[in-house]
Chain A
């Protein structure tokens, strides 16, 4: 039991259960299975984005360009769909993934080959990618009536009673879980975050691994480009404006250390769900949606205060243990 309580994911899960309990006191229907399924579906996109951001943050980097990447690839697939409705949707999803991959690879290349700090690179590409969306679209919107029924309908189709969007999120969670716990790449990502210098001596190509994590976050953003546009059925330059900070907030609440090396797939998913539950709950318990920003801000500060206690001076604790032994 004690070992169990050491994991911050357990605490976060407990916090979420308490949160759902509190909301249910005001609005009993909230904890119903059907509603929670809906909350998960609403949060699916944020979960995928948070997982992409997680692998970047684990290597002591940050990707501020994810929301702009999403906006650009979303516009590309929406315009393709509007101009050529015959293109099958799976192919469009592949195009979205590849588009996101290319934009992510540009970030990764600049970080890897030119050694520019990732916060500077992605601050630049954040504005460039959104500006590029304006250039390719000419500032025009792609509206619902220009999109094909399949384009909009795919993620809403139910499979075993659960929408395809949720299935995609579950699949992505499973893939990230395998990546982080069962592959050498996943272990290298953690190693780089904990100690980049030691990683070099352990034979890990730090630069190349950073390049790969930016490709991963780019692909996650690209996939969400399609999902976002087909969910909210409008593609414009304003799509997901400022959303990059929500993604980072989900990671921080999920216990992923901005200093790198600490964090898990479960944490990222729970962090995103925490934000998703708050945004779903506010309207049903009659709190103005204008409160959401301040509440998530307070949640971020609280989360980082709590997480900091566990992270501090880990190296010395190990030494003390060794002394005691």
Chain B
């Protein structure tokens, strides 16, 4: 006990024991996903079909793309409620460009750039002026969608070029859609960014303690600004996909998506208070939400009743570990 040698090196992270992996959030989500998948397969004979399963992915890929960036933003302790409004504004701008005779490449560029610009606007307000993001983005949510309403009123833009339809309706290979491929590629990129780069470590550091992060040399403001830009960028990409899939733009497009995206992120195990979360969890949560809505849809359950299941799922999945931990603690003490 007198001279214990100091450990030669301190590991970056502790090896997880097996039972920690079994009881991890991701494992819980996998179990839920498998259970829902099994129930769906039994409940409807049409479920286990390659094309059905392919259609299923259209339910969530657009929202899930935004959820990837939103996960990073929420981990850093901020939030963006304006993503659905960004979709509406970007889609409106694409519609205006179509009226002016823009081609497909220009449309895609406009959609993405408008998204990026809106994200940067949010980021500037939050980081430069030091405003709470939840209030700022409630404001910009009304502002962005409000501009779409001013431009469009009760009208709609149509007449997108046929080559533009590929992004939301096209298939890369057999039943694998362009949307799904894009989502999977983006998921890998975001996984790498969050879990394998120093940028990702800084995002976690900011979420856990922004003041400490600042004092250890992390540029808190700049990283948060980048995260708002990324979220806006993903909303712009989602806008291209949705506009392409629907082939028209109304100012009410993607109404209420922001809450579904946040539900997806929280269901994926990201702490709404910041500082914890994983991309794998968010991807699993996206699939779970897609499975629930599609499975219930096959059973002719109306969309609004599905939202009850999503809401219950959110609260139960969050509450279960808390209740379980409490029950265990009471038994052992």
Q: Which residues of chain B come closer than 8 Å to A301, judged between CB atoms?
A: 125, 136, 139-140, 143
Given contacts A110-B315, A110-B319, are A304 and B131 in contact (CB under 8 A)? yes
Interface residues of B in 271-311 (CB under 8 A from A): 272-273, 302, 304-308, 310-311
B132 close to chain A: CB less than 8 A: yes
Query: Which one of A75-83, A112-120, A147-155, A201-209 is at the B interface?
Result: A112-120
Given contacts A130-B307, A131-B305, A294-B147, are A120 and B272 in contact (CB under 8 A)? yes
Q: A293 CA to B135 CA in the complex, in Å?
A: 15
B175 close to chain A: CB less than 8 A: no
A116, A130, A242, A248: the one within 8 Å of B319 (CB): A116
Query: Which one of A8-16, A32-40, A132-140 is at the B interface?
Result: A132-140
Q: Which residues of chain A come closer than 8 Å to B129, judged between CB atoms?
A: 305, 308
Contact B323 A114 (CB under 8 A): yes
B130, B142, B322: the one within 8 Å of A116 (CB): B322
Q: A270 CA to B210 CA in the complex, in Å?
A: 34
Contact B319 A135 (CB under 8 A): no
Contact A245 B131 (CB under 8 A): no
Q: A160 CA to B99 CA in the complex, in Å?
A: 57
Contact A134 B302 (CB under 8 A): yes
**A242, A290, A298 pick with most chain B CB within 10 angstroms:** A290
B150 close to chain A: CB less than 8 A: yes
Interface residues of A in 245-285 (CB under 8 A from B): 245, 248-249, 252, 258-259
**A64, A110, A125, A293 pick with most chain B CB within 10 angstroms:** A293
Q: Which residues of chain A come closer than 8 Å to B263, judged between CB atoms?
A: 123-124
* Contact size range, A: 35 or more
Q: Which residues of chain A come closer than 8 Å to B312, judged between CB atoms?
A: 124, 128
Chain A residue nearest to B85 in the complex (CB): A297
Given contacts A120-B272, A242-B256, A290-B153, are A304 and B315 in contact (CB under 8 A)? no
Contact A291 B272 (CB under 8 A): no
Q: Which residues of chain B come closer than 8 Å to A297, judged between CB atoms?
A: 139-146
Q: Which residues of chain A come closer than 8 Å to B132, judged between CB atoms?
A: 258-259, 304
Contact A242 B139 (CB under 8 A): no
Contact A127 B145 (CB under 8 A): no
Q: How far in angstroms is the closest Cβ of chain A from B82?
A: 9
Contact B315 A293 (CB under 8 A): no
Digit string of A196-221 for contact with B (CB within 8 Å is 1, else 0)? 00000000000000000000000000
Q: How far in angstroms is the closest Cβ of chain A from B97?
A: 20
Contact B302 A300 (CB under 8 A): no
B211 close to chain A: CB less than 8 A: no
Q: A132 CA to B304 CA in the complex, in Å?
A: 9
Contact A242 B138 (CB under 8 A): no
Interface residues of B in 88-146 (CB under 8 A from A): 125, 129-132, 134-136, 138-146
Q: Chain A interface (Cβ within 8 Å of chain B)?
A: 62, 64, 110, 114-117, 119-121, 123-128, 130-132, 134-135, 139, 237, 242, 245, 248-249, 252, 258-259, 288, 290-301, 304-305, 308, 312
Q: What are 6 sample pairs from A and B whose C-beta atoms fall under 8 A apart? A: A124-B312, A126-B311, A134-B304, A293-B146, A297-B141, A298-B143
Known contacts A64-B259, A290-B149; can you find 10 more A-B pairs with CB under 8 A?
Answer: A110-B319, A114-B323, A124-B312, A124-B315, A248-B135, A294-B143, A296-B142, A296-B146, A297-B142, A304-B139
